[in-house]
């Protein structure tokens, strides 16, 4: 089959790699300039920082095995740092599960998975046109691509819903409410007074603090951190200016560290407008229209994590195989 995959994040990259290995002709579309999606890595004039998934916990045995395989291939490394949880009573050890990072940056595995696969970056697919021979894809600039036997959309749920709903309304059982997340990278002139490089915070402003420089395979002096603001704060302050976001982050850091924080030398921020569904929302699973050969899947399908993205891609691969069998005369 000739398959269009929309989105070159973890799920899309995995689906493209697996479908290509099965002998399908795969074309990958990505609206941004690079691959990675939620595993975004940013190269800046003052350093390189992960701005998406901070770490990859492996709570599933099969996924843990996959991470070990990627370690053997030089795409990942175990991060032995012990995660901590902070609340108003102070710091305590978090759950002890295997955790990894991709090297030398979190988007590296997506780059590796999609090598040799036709990739269109900077292309936002805005419309799917059904033809007797398959699917024709149109982008925002009215360019067309195709014709494809099947389409897999791995964009965040609201974008996937908008793109596929008119052609396959039966795939969708309702809307989902999603929340934003601000990520703020800060380079300090001295070390932060924190007992570990990975802290999950139960704080009104911040939810996670990660020392980028401490991750395996990274360069740096140890003073570059990424702060992830909690979803409620981010959703209420999606229009917050850069100065206001930095002030809020530093005030929260001071509260957590219980002392003034060092001076900031450099900073960079990114707003994830569609970070994750409300915690009260049930994951929708993998959405398939066998008749129309449309599939909707992503990390959001099963729980909004890198592990979920990998699990979703496995299910997509199985669905594509079923569609391929049906095409054989």
Report the chain's C-alpha Rg in angstroms. Answer: 21
Cis peptide bond prior to 120, omega within 30° of 0: no
Both structure tokens of 292: 């129309």
Residue 328 is predicted with a pLDDT of 47
How is the chain split into domains, by residue range?
2-43+108-175+282-327, 54-105+177-277
Instruction: Tell which residue, 198, 147, 152, has the closest CA to residue 9.
Output: 152
The CA-based angle 155-315-325, given to 5 degrees, is 110
Cis peptide bond prior to 175, omega within 30° of 0: no
Instruction: Tell which residue, 183, 193, 329, 206, has the closest CA to residue 269.
Output: 183
Interatomic CA distance for residues 307 and 320, integer angstroms = 20
Both structure tokens of 213: 């420089």
Task: Write phi, then psi, for 113 (nearest 5 degrees).
Answer: -65, -30
Question: Under CATH, to which class is 54-105+177-277 assigned?
Answer: alpha beta
**pLDDT per residue as tens, the chain (329 positions):** 999 999 999 999 999 999 999 999 999 999 998 899 989 999 999 988 999 999 999 999 999 999 999 999 999 999 988 899 999 999 999 888 999 999 999 999 999 999 999 999 999 999 999 999 999 999 999 999 989 999 999 998 888 888 988 888 877 766 678 899 999 999 999 999 999 999 999 999 999 999 998 999 887 667 999 999 999 999 999 999 999 999 999 999 999 999 999 999 999 999 999 888 776 667 888 999 988 999 999 988 888 899 999 999 999 999 998 888 765 44
- Fold annotation for 2-43+108-175+282-327: FAD/NAD(P)-binding domain (3.50.50)
Give 12's DSSP letter.
Answer: H
Spell out the residues 6+ positions from residue 122 whose beta carbon is closer than 8 angstroms to its own. 30, 31, 32, 33
Strands 144-148 and 150-153: unpaired
Residue 326 is predicted with a pLDDT of 65
Beta-sheet strand order (sheet of 76-78): 56-57, 99-102, 76-78
Instruction: Tell which residue, 52, 5, 35, 85, has the closest CA to residue 275.
Output: 52
Residue 327 is predicted with a pLDDT of 59
Strands 264-277 and 118-121: unpaired
Which parts of 141-205 fold into alpha helices (H)?
Answer: 157-164
The CA-based angle 120-19-170, given to 5 degrees, is 85
CA of 25: how far to CAs of 28, 62, 209, 269, 288, in Å? 10, 27, 41, 37, 20
Residue 280 is predicted with a pLDDT of 64
Interatomic CA distance for residues 188 and 329, integer angstroms = 64
Longest dimension (CA), the chain: 71
Tokens 């195709």 belong to residue: 146
Instruction: Tell which residue, 271, 321, 276, has the closest CA to residue 303.
Output: 276
Both structure tokens of 230: 């909690």
What pTM was computed for the model?
Answer: 0.92
């Amino acid at each position: 089959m000739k398959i269009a995959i929309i989105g070159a994040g973890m799920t899309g990259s995995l689906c493209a790699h697996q479908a290509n290995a099965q002998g399908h002709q795969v074309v990958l579309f990505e609206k941004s300039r690079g691959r990675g999606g939620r595993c975004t890595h940013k190269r800046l004039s003052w350093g390189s920082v992960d701005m998406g998934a901070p770490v990859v916990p492996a709570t599933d045995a099969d996924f843990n095995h996959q991470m070990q395989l990627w370690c053997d291939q030089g795409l990942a490394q175990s991060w032995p740092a012990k995660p901590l949880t902070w609340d108003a009573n102070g710091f305590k050890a978090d759950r002890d599960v295997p955790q990894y990072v991709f090297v030398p940056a979190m988007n590296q595995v997506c780059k590796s998975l999609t090598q040799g696969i036709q990739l269109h970056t900077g292309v936002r697919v805005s419309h799917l046109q059904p033809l007797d021979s398959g699917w024709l894809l149109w982008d925002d600039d009215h360019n067309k691509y195709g014709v494809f036997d099947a389409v897999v959309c791995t964009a965040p749920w609201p974008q996937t819903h908008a793109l596929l709903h008119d052609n396959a309304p039966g795939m969708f059982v309702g809307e989902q409410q999603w929340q934003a997340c601000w990520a703020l990278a800060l380079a300090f002139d001295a070390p932060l007074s924190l007992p570990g490089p990975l802290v999950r915070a139960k704080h009104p402003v911040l939810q996670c603090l990660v020392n980028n420089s401490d991750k395996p395979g990274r360069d740096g002096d140890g003073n570059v951190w990424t702060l992830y603001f909690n979803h409620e704060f981010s959703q209420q302050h999606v229009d917050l200016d850069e100065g206001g976001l930095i002030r809020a982050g530093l005030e929260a850091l001071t509260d957590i560290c219980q002392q003034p924080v060092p001076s900031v030398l450099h900073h960079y921020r990114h707003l994830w407008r569609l970070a994750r569904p409300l915690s009260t929302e049930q994951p929708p699973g993998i959405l398939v229209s066998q008749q129309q050969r449309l599939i909707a899947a992503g990390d959001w399908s099963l729980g909004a994590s890198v592990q979920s993205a990998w699990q979703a891609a496995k299910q997509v691969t199985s669905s594509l195989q079923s569609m391929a069998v049906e095409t054989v005369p």
